[in-house]
Amino acid sequence: MEEKELVIIGGGPAGLSAAIEARKKGVDVLLLDENLRPGGQLFKQIHRFFGSREHMAGVRGFVIGERLLNEVKELGIDVWLNSVVYGLFKDNVIGVVKENKNIILKAKCIIVATGAIENPLSFHGWTLPGVMGAGACQTMININRVLPGKKVLMIGSGNVGLIVSYQLLQAGADVCGVIEIMPNIGGYLVHAAKIKRFGVPIYLSTTILEAEGKEEVEGAVICPVDNDFKPILRKRKEIDVDLICIAVGLTPLNELLYQAGCLFTYKPYLGGTVALHNADMETSVNGIYIAGDLSGIEEASTAMEEGKLAGLSVAERLNGKSYKGEKIDVLRRLNDFRIGTFGEKRRISKEEIIKEYYERVKD
């Protein structure tokens, strides 16, 4: 069994930031990622990020991704790609399959940053080829440079739905419409304005009844709903599409944490079931930390800051030093993001998680 100081599971923005921060403090870091290339979902974010200069506002997601990868390389951080962590066992033991070989590791500290998965939405015909997650479509067009369809229906008007609709226009597709079951859009008005300006309609209080097609998507039936969200069937409309994207939220990928016996809570504004963690990002299991979308669905910018926080907390613990000043800076930047109509609810949920941690977790 190989013994490591810090093992980070997941090389997205949170994992990369945690690795960089911990390495800078002299911690021996091993970063594991199951993909051929780290970066998580960063490389498909071809739009400019919001925020302040410190948050790298105005910079495109993939540019930020490249900067993080360069820093990881310069710091000489040990990275295992093509490595699937299948088990998180007692006493911080990790089971990983690296290129068909089983390896057992033991770590003093572990940061789990496995991100999230898109939520499904079931409707008649949803299993047909041509129905996929909006993030999946984004991966196809921006990473793989392939259009999975030409005429698109987008389900969901949160930021993912609106942004991917715009990116579909950039990729040369025809977005026939965005449908939203609520009476208002879920994402930013500026994202909606960007696509409306080019003729993409956004239908409110509308749902999908069916994806049509024999072997693949050939059309869809959409339908307005009443105040109780019941479809008003006589007003249903058939539309000609070959691609249906589902953008109805993300859920943290908690599997490894379930295995490890972490305690959980439920926070609807953060994506549902999330693990309890304290102000240092440590879960209820000693030595296991979390960061990024796994600890609550937010954004790439918050994922990076949480990664830094976890990395610094682990470094404090392993080095027996205090990095309070830097942690305060990170917390300040995190709070800058959790304000306003969109951010406030997340800030409150995060505070509740920390409070619940201290109530339920005995030292």
Q: Which of 33, 34, 282, 316 binds another protein (CB under 8 A)?
A: 34
> Is the Cβ of residue 25 or residue 196 nearer to another protein in the bound state?
196
The token pair that represents 326 in the structure block = 């830097």
Task: Please report, as residue ranges, which positions from 72 to 131 form the binding site for another protein (by CB under 8 A).
Answer: 117-118, 120, 127-131
> Is the Cβ of residue 117 or residue 354 nearer to another protein in the bound state?
117
Question: Least separation, in Å, of the C-beta of 342 and another protein?
Answer: 7
For the chain, the distance separating the N- and C-terminal CA atoms, rounded to the nearest angstrom, is 28
Q: Which of 81, 93, 169, 279 binds another protein (CB under 8 A)?
A: 169
Cβ pair 44, 139 in contact under 8 A: yes
H or E element in which residue 161 lies: helix 159-170
Does position 194 interact with another protein (CB under 8 A)? The reply is yes
Cβ pair 125, 238 in contact under 8 A: no
Does position 136 interact with another protein (CB under 8 A)? The reply is yes
Question: Least separation, in Å, of the C-beta of 68 and another protein?
Answer: 18
Task: Please report, as residue ranges, which positions from 319 to 348 form the binding site for another protein (by CB under 8 A).
Answer: 336-337, 339-343
> Is the Cβ of residue 92 or residue 157 nearer to another protein in the bound state?
157
Does position 209 interact with another protein (CB under 8 A)? The reply is no
Residue 43 DSSP symbol: G
- Amino acid, single-letter form, for residue 17: S
For 249-304, give the DSSP string: -EEE--HHHHHHT--EEEEGGGTEEEE---TTSB-SSTTEEE-GGGGSS--HHHHH
Does position 14 interact with another protein (CB under 8 A)? The reply is no
Calpha distance 314→5 (Å, rounded): 10
Stretch that binds another protein, among 67-75, 144-152, 266-274, 351-359 (CB under 8 A): 144-152
Q: Which of 2, 26, 58, 258 binds another protein (CB under 8 A)?
A: 58
